Chains A and B, each alone.
Chain A
Amino acid sequence: MPDRRKQDDLSSDRDLVAQTAAGDRRAFESLVERHAAAVLRLATIVTDDPVSAEDALQQTFLSVYRNAASFRGDASVRTWLLSIARNAAYRLRTKHGQEQLMEEPLMTLGLEAGWGSDNPEALAIAAERRETLVRALQVLQPIDREVVILRDVEGLRGPEAAEVLGIGERALKSRLHRARLRLAAALRASSAGNPRDGEGARNDRT
Chain B
Amino acid sequence: MIERDVGGLRCFEVLELLSEYVDGELDESTVEKVEGHLLGCPNCERFGQNFGSMLVALRKESEHGPKAGLDVMARLLQQLRRATTEP
Contacts and interface: CB of A to CB of B under 8 A. Distances in A.
Given A116-B43, A124-B53, A177-B18, A62 B58 contact: no
B25 A158 contact: yes
B87 interface: no
Contact of B11 (A36, A116, A133, A152): A116
Contact of B57 (A113, A127, A176): A127
What DSSP secondary structure best describes chain B's contact surface? helix
A67 to B, nearest CB: 12
Contacts of B1: 116
Given A40-B68, A115-B2, A123 B54 contact: yes
A25 B54 contact: no
Interface in B28-53: 43-44, 46-47, 49-51, 53
A48 to B, nearest CB: 13
A120 interface: yes
A110 to B, nearest CB: 5
A177 B76 contact: no
Contacts of B61: 130, 133-134, 153
A167 interface: no
B46 A62 contact: no
Interface string A130-172: 1001100000000000001000111100100000000000000
A133 B23 contact: no
Nearest to A122: B50
B47 A120 contact: yes
Q: How large is the interface on A (under 10, 10 to 19, 20 to 34, 35 or more residues)?
A: 35 or more
Interface string A26-44: 0011001100111111001
A81 interface: no
B58 A33 contact: no
Contact of B76 (A61, A148, A158): A61
A58 B79 contact: yes
Contacts of B23: 158
Contact of A123 (B53, B72, B73): B53
Contacts of A183: 54
A62 B80 contact: yes
Given A115-B47, A120-B47, A152 B59 contact: yes
What are the 6 closest A-B residue pairs judged by CB atoms, nearest first? Answer: A124-B53, A177-B19, A127-B57, A152-B58, A36-B68, A124-B50
Given A120-B49, A152-B58, A173-B25, 8 more contacts: A40-B72, A58-B79, A61-B76, A107-B15, A114-B47, A152-B55, A173-B19, A180-B51
Interface of A: 25, 28-29, 32-33, 36-41, 44, 54, 57-58, 61-62, 65, 106-107, 110, 113-117, 120-121, 123-124, 127-128, 130, 133-134, 148, 152-155, 158, 173, 176-177, 180, 183-184, 187
